[in-house]
Structure 1
């Protein structure tokens, strides 16, 4: 009986702690709702990367660092394999190294391997190096794509995947 009473008291305190008060038409949130708001704000920080061109090709990524071929008008669609040329700028990216790309979905936070061991083939379209790849996304929404060259993180690209 003491356990049940203790459980009821704890549940009541939790419910009171999660409530909000209304005063003079304004809502005052407690600390737990502020924490939820902070988490949601961080989730909303994921924004699609910049679109740019290099030698008449359209890219998404970070100009003069990395990107892959994709136009603003084009769509990346769930479960549809697309061909994408990853391009890299900078002398540190050497021909013969290998690219891997890990993607993380914004909602699920599940990380998957999108590209494994794509060989860098040299200069192309104004970039110092490039690698042709295929990518397939299993779920829609925003994705963070981390590009690794020989196991070292080179940079990240954020893309929107349509259902």
Structure 2
């Protein structure tokens, strides 16, 4: 009986710790890393996915559409299907909006800037603050990128 109580306590403690770790990851709304590829600065995960973005020259501003060139480093088998981006703000993390949905784009694109493929796009986010961009390939989560969106008067 004593060992059963110990085991139950250990299981409860483990579940509590896992839940706390999970919540910490969700609460980490920090801008993703910047990295250089050739003469371009990108935001995302180096050698996996990113888009050309240099906040020293042009900021991501709320309600302003702009062009962004996505770059993906993956094997050709992974690049099957559609490319989609869902976005959620730090203020409303459970509300996702679709900001990009490109059907079968990988059939037509080629390598660029050392990446396996690239995708030209236009994106807009409606409010300032920190945003999480979830990237999907063929409805499978590929990676997440965090971007800071500025108010127009701050830009």
- Please give the TM-score of this superposition, normalised by the length of structure 2: 0.73
Poorly superposed stretches of 4+, deviation over 6 Å: 40-43
State the match for 2:59 in structure 1: 75
Rounded to whole Å, the distance in 2 between the matches of 1:42 and 1:90 is: 25
Partner of 2:99: 114
2:114 corresponds to 1:126: yes
Q: Which has the higher contact order (CA 8 A, sep 6+)?
A: 2
Deviation at residue 72 of structure 1 after TM alignment:
3.1
Which structure is higher in strand share?
A: 1
Size of the aligned set, in residue pairs, is 125
Query: What runs of 5+ residues in structure 1 fail to find an aligned partner?
Result: 1-37
Q: Output the CA distance in 2 between the equivalents of 1:158 and 1:63.
A: 14
What residue ranges of structure 2 are gaps of 5+ in the alignment? 1-20
Q: CA deviation at 1:100?
A: 0.6
- Structure 1 partner of 2:89: 105
Match of 1:60 in 2: 43
Structure 1 or 2, whichever has the larger Rg, is 1
Residue 44 of structure 1 deviates from its aligned partner by 4.9
Note the C-alpha offset of 1:115.
0.1
Q: TM-score by structure 1 length?
A: 0.70
In 2, Cα distance between the equivalents of 1:99 and 1:107?
A: 25
Residue 147 of structure 2 aligns to a residue whose secondary structure is strand
Q: CA deviation at 1:51?
A: 0.6
